Amino acid sequence: MKLTNDRYTILLGAKNFTERYYRDKAGWLKVSARGRKFRLTAEQILNHVLPVLAGIKPNLNIKVEHHDPSLQNDA
């Protein structure tokens, strides 16, 4: 099982919206609730994620999903 950054998707949202953050070959990508795509640096990702983890924005939820293609092929 690989635990590299490109194997994770970060879901950040509330009751009425969800944003996705993931890493592809070119770097980090944010997909907004409307489906628009934005390139971000790792520092920008942290600026979005850390306030939620610290509890400063209690109305937001965060979820991290791990994707391992090699495990999906074995199933």
How many domains does the chain fold into? 1
For residue 73, the model assigns a pLDDT of 59
Q: Which H or E run includes 21?
A: strand 18-24
> Residue 37 has which token pair?
């795509």
> Residue 59 has which token pair?
């109305």
Tell me the residue range of the domain where 51 lies. 5-74
pLDDT digits (tens, 9 = 90+) for 12-23: 999 999 999 999
Supply φ then ψ for residue 34, to 5 degrees. Answer: -90, -5
- Checking if the pLDDT of 24 tops 90, the result is yes
What is the residue-averaged pLDDT of the chain? 91
- Checking if the pLDDT of 74 tops 60, the result is no
| Global confidence as pTM | 0.85
Q: Which residues of 22-58 are buried (b: 16+ CB within 10 A; e: fewer)?
A: bbeeeebebeeeeeeeeebeeeebeebbeebeeeeee
